[in-house]
Amino acid sequence: MTARTTGPTTGRSLMEGSEAIVRAAIVAGCRFFAGYPMTPFTEVLEHSARLLPDVGGVCMNAESELEAVGMAWGAAATGARAATGSTGQGLSLMQESLSELTMAEVPLVVFNMSRGQGDYFQATRGGGHGDYRHIALAPQDVREAIELTQLAFHLADKWRNPVLVYGDYLLAHTQEAVTVAPLGFGTLPEKDWAVDGSRTGSGWSATVTPLGVAKLGQRQYGQEGKAQYIATKLPLLEREVRVETGYLDDAETVIVGFGTPAKFVKHAIDQLRDAGHRIGYVRPITLWPFPYGTVRDAAVNARVVGSFEISSGQLVDDVLIGVAGQAPVQHLGGVSSDHSGFGVGRLLDVDEIAMRILALHRGEAQPPVPGYEEFTYELAAHQQEATA
């Protein structure tokens, strides 16, 4: 039998993104994971189940995503580094708990291995209640996912706030030769807030709750006070913005893209630059906080700004906010996946992307999105008059 290794790998090893993410979480100190199998998240759960026991950790295959986030919440409340995740569909079931976790200030890392259609709105706006935000990190490849997974655990503990790592089918299933080694992001305070039993019987036992209540003699925020307290915390989290830019010094056209599609965008722009076209890019690494300032500065001298994404237009809203009217903004992407809806579609092709960017740069009409000719919405008779 071949021995299994869970800790840092020696040198570079070939592994798929799902395994690299789990190994990165383990070297970051994650010792509890809960999830429910759902493609393309399933492999993250499977690798967690295989690797966590080797380091004394626990992986729970929950009955559903509702139970998964509840289990992870319980583990994280004790001070353990814990994580959960799913696809966008599964994360929809977790939204109430994710907003409550934010109000309770429980640090949890959440992995979204999204399906073919992008979940940008969900990642940056969520579907829960109240004034809450999650730091959202979007790696462009497996190598960066190793770094950002470890950063996610650090930021979650630093701010006592859930952090989302936004991946997709391509990131989960692409194999790269990578090294998984622990990274340092600075020291963190002790988790004196954790419900770990160490203060039982002292009269100062810990309470982790979103309700603003506390034990007798401890500070009571109340519902309103707790909401106001969290609101004052959000501007501080906005300092964690991270972004990559390229070719902006002389760019007449600026393209904004994130995650794995951004790597294709960057390659297409490299080719277009070689052909003499003055095109640059902005890649948000944090989807929230969004790099509005960088987008604004990039748009100052641009003729036009494009937003490339695998959706019908979600990222484009934040691009419009960042550009603030300094240049016209156009959505360049579209819904594009394989026929299962899980994987990579025809739009995620460098030649296809380059063609769309070049059309924007030249002021020409956008080419049709592959598949739209076949599946275009047809108006019914009762709708035609209203849209005439």
| pLDDT at 137 (0 to 100) | 98
Query: Which residue type sits at 246?
Result: G
For domain 243-375, the CATH class is alpha beta
DSSP 161-189: S-EEEEEEHHHHH-EEEE-----------
What are the residue boundaries of the structural domains of the chain, listed by start? Answer: 13-178, 243-375
Q: Please give the Cα distance from 26 to 82 (Å, whole number).
A: 10
Distance from C-alpha of 271 to C-alpha of 266, rounded to nearest angstrom? 9
Which amino acid would we find at residue 117? Q
In angstroms, the Cα distances linking 39 to 93, 101, 144 are 16, 25, 22
Quick one: pLDDT at residue 9? 53
- What distance in Å separates the CA atoms of residue 243 and residue 257, rounded to the nearest whole number? 11
DSSP-assigned beta bridge partners for residue 128:
none
* Local structure of 246: helix, strand or coil: strand
Tell which residue, 221, 191, 190, has the closest CA to residue 206: 191
In order of 23, 325, 331, the CA distances from 179 in angstroms are: 10, 43, 36
pLDDT at 2: 35
- Record the tokens describing residue 68, joined without a space: 């998964």
10-residue stretch averages of pLDDT, the chain, 388 residues long = 45 94 98 97 98 98 97 97 96 96 97 91 91 96 98 98 96 95 95 88 81 82 91 96 98 98 98 98 98 98 97 97 98 92 90 98 95 89 80
Q: Return the exposure string of 57-77: e unless at least 16 CB atoms fall within 10 Å of the residue's CB, then b.
A: bbbbebeebebbbbbbbbbbb
Q: How far apart are CA 139 and CA 147, in angstroms?
A: 9
| Whether pTM exceeds 0.85 | yes
User: What is the C-alpha to C-alpha distance for residues 116 and 93, in angstroms, rounded to an integer?
Assistant: 19
Identify residue 30 by its one-letter amino acid code: C
Under the phi-then-psi rule, with left for phi > 0, alpha for psi from -120 to 50, and beta for the rest, what region is 217?
Answer: left
CA gap 324, 322 in Å, rounded: 5
Place of tokens 């004052």: 232
Whether the CA torsion 252, 255, 256, 260 is positive or negative: it is negative
Terminal-residue alpha carbon distance, the chain: 70
Rounded Cα distance between 139 and 339, Å, is: 25
pLDDT given for residue 285 in this prediction: 98
CATH of domain 13-178: 3.40.50.970
Q: Fold identical between 13-178 and 243-375?
A: yes
CB atoms closer than 10 angstroms to residue 125? 13
